[in-house]
C-alpha cells in the first residue's frame, strides 16, 4: 500500500465539483483516508510549491492556489502515486487523455483541478505538510 497527497484546487471548490472528483478517485479504487477543506495562505502556498520557485509561473501559481478554498487529501492504494497521476492526466488539460480528471474538469494549465505527488518520497513530505498521522484513518 502506498499513500499520495492530492489537492482539489480552487476551480473544483468554486464549481462545487468536490464530490464529482472524489467519485472519480473512489471509482479508480483509491481510498480517501484523510481529507480537509482549507484556505491556504500565500506563505503556505509558496512553501508547498517551493520546488517551482524559480519557474516563470511561480507567482501566478501561488496566487491561484489562494484564490479560493482547496481540499487536501491523503489517498491510499497499491501504487497510488502513479495510479493517481494517470487518473489526473497531463498537467496541461489540452494534452490530457480522455477520461482523466483534467481532461474532463480542468479549465487551463493553471486551473487544472488537481495536484498529486510525483513520487513516493515527495508524497511523504507533502502529506506531512498538511496532516498529522493522528488525522489519517486507514
Ligand atoms: P501541479 O501538479 O499542481 O504542479 C505545479 C503546477 O503549476 C501545475 O500543477 C500547474 O497547475 C501549474 N502551472 C502553471 N503554469 C504552468 C506551466 N507553464 N508549466 C507547468 N505547470 C504550470
Q: CA 45, CA 23: separation in Å to the nearest integer?
A: 26
Kindly report the protein residue whose alpha carbon is nearest to atom 7 of ligand 1. Answer: 61
Distance 134 CA to ligand 1 centre (A): 31
Kindly report the protein residue whose alpha carbon is nearest to atom 20 of ligand 1. Answer: 91
User: pLDDT, tens digit, for every residue of 38-86?
Assistant: 999 999 999 999 999 999 999 999 999 999 999 999 999 999 999 999 9
Q: CA 36, CA 51: separation in Å to the nearest integer?
A: 23
Cell of 109: 494549465
Q: Show the ligand 1 pocket: residues with CB < 6 angstroms.
A: 52, 57, 61, 91, 109-110, 112, 115
Average pLDDT, the chain: 98
User: Does residue 79 come out as left (phi exceeding 0), alpha (psi in the -120 to 50 range) or beta?
Assistant: left
The torsion angle over the Cα atoms of residues 73, 57, 39 and 26, rounded to 10 degrees, is: -20
Q: Please choose, from the candidates 136, 110, 108, 113, the residue with its C-alpha nearest in 3D space to the C-alpha of residue 124.
A: 136
| pLDDT at residue 19 in the model | 98
| pLDDT at residue 108 in the model | 98
Distance 110 CA to ligand 1 centre (A): 6
| pLDDT at residue 98 in the model | 98
Kindly report the protein residue whose alpha carbon is nearest to atom 14 of ligand 1. Answer: 110
Question: Edge-to-edge strand order for the sheet containing 2-8?
Answer: 31-38, 70-77, 2-8, 114-116
User: pLDDT, tens digit, for every residue of 17-30?
Assistant: 999 999 999 999 99
**pTM beyond cutoff 0.85:** yes
Calculate Rg over the CA atoms of the chain: 14
Q: Point out the ligand 1 atom lying closest to the alpha carbon of residue 88.
A: 2
| pLDDT at residue 21 in the model | 99
68 φ, ψ (degrees, to nearest 5): -175, 175
Amino acid at each position: 500500500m502506498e499513500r499520495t497527497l492530492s489537492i482539489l484546487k480552487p476551480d473544483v471548490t468554486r464549481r462545487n465539483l468536490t464530490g464529482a472528483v472524489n467519485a472519480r478517485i473512489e471509482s479508480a479504487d483509491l481510498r480517501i483516508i484523510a481529507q480537509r477543506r482549507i484556505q491556504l495562505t500565500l506563505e503556505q502556498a509558496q512553501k508547498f510549491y517551493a520546488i517551482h520557485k524559480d519557474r516563470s509561473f511561480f507567482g501566478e501559481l501561488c496566487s491561484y492556489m489562494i484564490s479560493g478554498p482547496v481540499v487536501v487529501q491523503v489517498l491510499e492504494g497499491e501504487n497510488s502515486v502513479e495510479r493517481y497521476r494517470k487518473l489526473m492526466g497531463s498537467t496541461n488539460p489540452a494534452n490530457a487523455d480522455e477520461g482523466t480528471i483534467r481532461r474532463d474538469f480542468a479549465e487551463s494549465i493553471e486551473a487544472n483541478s488537481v495536484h498529486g505527488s510525483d513520487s513516493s518520497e515527495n508524497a511523504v513530505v507533502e502529506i506531512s505538510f498538511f496532516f498529522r498521522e493522528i488525522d489519517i484513518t486507514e
